[in-house]
Amino acid sequence: MKNICILGSTGSVGTQAIDIIRNKRSEYRLVAISGNSNIDLLYEQAVEFRPNYVAVMDKKFHRILNEKLKSYGITVLEGIEGLKYISTLDEVDIVLTSIVGMIGLTPTIAAIQAGKMIALANKETLVVGGELIKAELKKSKSSILPVDSEHSAIFQCMNGENPKSINKIILTASGGPFRGKSKSQLVDVTPEQAIKHPKWNMGKKISIDSATLMNKALEVIEAHWLFNVKYENIEVVVHPQSIIHSMVEYVDGSIIAQMSNTDMKHPIQYAFDYPNRNSSVIGYLDLINKGSITFEKPDNESFPCLGFGYTAGKIGGTMPTVMNAANEEAVNLFLNGKIKFLEIEGIIRESMKTHRVDYNLTLEKIIDLEIQVRENVNKMIK
């Protein structure tokens, strides 16, 4: 039996991981969970699975949960220190980091230092802290299993192959809800339209990133750090059917692709069961009824955020942190009706343009820079 800690158990990936554990209780034990503001769901999960620990960021929510769970003998922890604590518990085998945003970086580093297996579903961890993560991995017995469908696919396509024989990585993108739209057609789109992803069931922030193609920009940087591949050898193709989750091209011209139903439970289960494969929790792909498979070039004119990812990644240093923090704040402003959809890209572009890059990275510097960028973005829109 594998003991699991889920950081972000109330989010999209976290709840799907909970479903897997619910249906395979003889194989997995939930030791610790964390959440942010959805404390009603966090409470329900705690009562159902009786983990030893629950962590919550907000002091007020900590007080409420602590009172409600006291009779169950569950310890309730608070803040970033609470996340770090449950990520490093002796009894934990796998830490699923499915928190959205840069907040996932600190507990992930703590878990690596504690030698835990990391099931990584938090893009921002490697985007802003890839250099730090790689340095910590070299000193630890820890390893990372990617949970993003694209990176899980690449990991599976590379399994058993010589990394030196890789010619390029091919990341697939659905194109999001606005695929085929021109710039002029995107002027007045609403948050409600932007979060309606045609293929995947995701949280609001990730859905907006998909609509701008920023999610693919983040994945390009993540792939660079996960697989030690140069940016010149990472290609993005639009694949509207979302059947092929990504591919690897080898020097002999062979392309190996990973295919499955469009469901995040597949890469989550793969990470939980690795290095074994167990019976599918999502059913099997019916190729005949799926019909044709097509590929297109990304529209970089209507969706420039993908290009920002390549630029930030190649520059390196603190530039990916600036890009990511500006995007997070801009997406938040858009969801709250304070800016328009196309202003997201403008805010990111301006933030990157005015930034002086620092190549001496530390965790403290990244955290401070994120706060500064967010403040600058709010000054910018005023």
Q: Are residues 8 and 101 in the same domain?
A: yes
- Domain identity same for 211 and 307: yes
Share of the chain above pLDDT 90, in %: 86
Assign 55 to helix, strand or coil: strand
Would you say residue 368 lies in a domain? no
Does any domain span residue 381?
Answer: no
What span, in angstroms and rounded, lies between the C-alpha atoms of 326 and 321?
Answer: 8
- Interval 85-110 mean pLDDT: 93
Q: Tell me the one-letter amino acid at 307.
A: G
300: helix, coil or strand?
Answer: coil
Q: How confident is the model at residue 197 (pLDDT cuts 50, 70, 90)?
A: confident
Q: Is residue 226 part of a domain?
A: yes
**Residue 169 domain-assigned?**
yes
78-87, 218-227, 269-278, 282-291, range with the lowest pLDDT: 282-291
- Whether the per-residue pLDDT at 123 is higher than 90: the answer is no
Q: How many residues does the chain have?
A: 382
My answer on whether 204 and 228 are in the same domain is yes
Q: Is 267:242 a contact under the CB 8 Å cutoff? A: no
Residue 203 clears pLDDT 80, i.e. is over it: no
In a domain, 176, yes or no: yes
Those residues whose C-beta lies under 8 Å from the C-beta of residue 334, and which sit 6 or more positions away, are 191, 194, 208, 340, 341, 343, 344
Please list the helix, strand and coil fractions of the chain in percent, rounded to the nearest 5, in that order.
50, 15, 35
**pLDDT of residue 198 exceeding 80:** no
Asked if 127 and 165 sit in the same domain, the reply is: no
Q: Which of 121, 146, 171 is the last residue of a domain?
A: 146
287 Cβ partners below 8 Å, 6+ apart? Answer: none
Residue pLDDT, tens place only, 324-348: 999 999 999 999 999 999 999 999 9
| 191, 309: one domain | yes
Domain-ending residue, one of 115, 146, 177: 146
Residue 12, domain extent: 2-146
CATH number at residue 104: 3.40.50.720
In the numeric block, the tokens 């139903």 are attached to: 261
Q: Verify that 116 and 180 share a domain, yes or no.
A: no
Query: Has residue 119 got a pLDDT over 80?
Result: yes
Res 124: pLDDT:
86
Q: What is the average per-residue pLDDT within 52-76?
A: 92
For strand 244-250 and strand 166-173, is the pairing parallel, antiparallel, or unpaired? antiparallel
CA distance 125 to 205: 16
Q: Are residues 139 and 206 in the same domain?
A: no
- Are both 9 and 141 inside the same structural domain? yes
In this predicted structure, the answer to whether residue 132 has a pLDDT above a threshold of 70 is yes
Across the chain, mean pLDDT equals: 94
Domain annotation covers residue 371: no
Answer yes or no: do 191 and 123 share one domain. Answer: no
Token pair belonging to 371: 């706060």
Whether residue 266 contacts residue 260, with contact meaning beta carbons closer than 8 Å, is answered with yes
Same domain, residue pair 102 and 195: no
Q: Do 135 and 108 sit in the same domain of this protein?
A: yes
DSSP state of 27: T
Q: Which of 271, 282, 283 is nearest to 28 (CA)?
A: 271
Cβ 168 vs Cβ 229: under 8 Å = yes
pLDDT at 201 over 70: no
pLDDT greater than 90 at residue 290? no
Task: Give the strands of the sheet with 28-35, arranged side by side.
Answer: 75-78, 53-56, 28-35, 2-7, 94-97, 117-120, 143-146
The pLDDT assigned to 101 comes to: 79
Residue 114 lies in a domain: yes
Residue with tokens 């803040």: 79
Domain count, the chain: 2
**251-272: average pLDDT:** 95
The confidence score (pLDDT) of residue 344 equals 97
Q: Is residue 332 part of a domain?
A: no
| pLDDT for res 94 | 97
Shared domain check, 246 and 142: no
Residue 42 has pLDDT above 80, yes or no: yes
Last residue of a domain, one of 118, 146, 174: 146
